[in-house]
Every structure is written in structure tokens, then in C-alpha cells.
Structure 1
Amino acid sequence: MDHDHETGRVRGVPYSSRDAALGKFKDRAGVLGRAAAYVEGNVWKPKLVARGVYLLPS
């Protein structure tokens, strides 16, 4: 069973590849969110902060 390591709450029955991937993130939602942004292509896009001024990701 896949479960929350802090609360012990069961999240569901995992598929082996998905469970292995989730295990790499060690239940850290922020890390998983950054990985999703990377896959979606949002990580390296500069952000417009003022006309003609862009903030590049660090």
C-alpha cells in the first residue's frame, strides 16, 4: 500500500513504476511540484516583470 509516511494514512494501491517514482520524492510535495513544472516546460521560461524587463529563472 502507498501511504503518507508522517500520518500513516493510506493513499491507494500503487503501480510499481509510479510508486518507485513517488518514492524518489520522499513525500515532499514541493519537490514534486517543481518536477511537474519542469515536465510542463514552465521552469525555464522568463517572467515579464516590467515592460521590456524579464526575470530569468535561477
Structure 2
Amino acid sequence: MDHGQQTGKVRDVLCFSCNAALGQFKDRPDVLRRAAEYPEGNVWKPTLVAPGVCQRPS
């Protein structure tokens, strides 16, 4: 049974893996979106901020 982290109310029935993933992401849609984009390789590319200095997205 899946429940809301804030409310504790039951939302639906999920498989164990999906329910555990939602729990790890703390039900944060912004984090879930970034995680979903990760396999595409677009979000995590570093940005060159100065010669020889790269910054990764936070």
C-alpha cells in the first residue's frame, strides 16, 4: 500500500520497488523529474564556468 508521506493517507497499491522508490524520493516531483531525465544523459552534464573549471548541476 502506498501512502502520502505528509498525510499518511493511502493513495494506491504499488509494487514493492515502485513504493520504495517513491519513499526514497520523499514524494518530491522535482527530484523524480530529474531522476527520470538521468538515463537520457541531458541533465547531469557539467557546465564549463571558466577554463578548466566545470560545475555539475545541483
User: What are the superposed Cα offsets for residues 9-50 of structure 1, whole Å, 9 maximum, x if unpaired?
Assistant: 432101011111111101111111110111233213x8xxxx
Distance 1:38 1:13, change over 3 A: same
Equivalence for 1:13: 13
- Show structure 1 runs of 5+ residues with no match: 47-56
Superposition pairs of residues 22-41 of structure 1, within 5 angstroms: 22-41=22-41
Structure 1 residue 3: Cα displacement: 1.6
Give the TM-score normalised by the residue count of structure 2: 0.60
CA RMSD of aligned residues (A): 2.3
Number of aligned pairs?
49
Give every structure 1 segment of 4 or more consecutive aligned residues whose post-TM-superposition deviation is greater than 3 Å: none
Equivalence for 2:4: 4
- Show structure 2 runs of 5+ residues with no match: 48-55
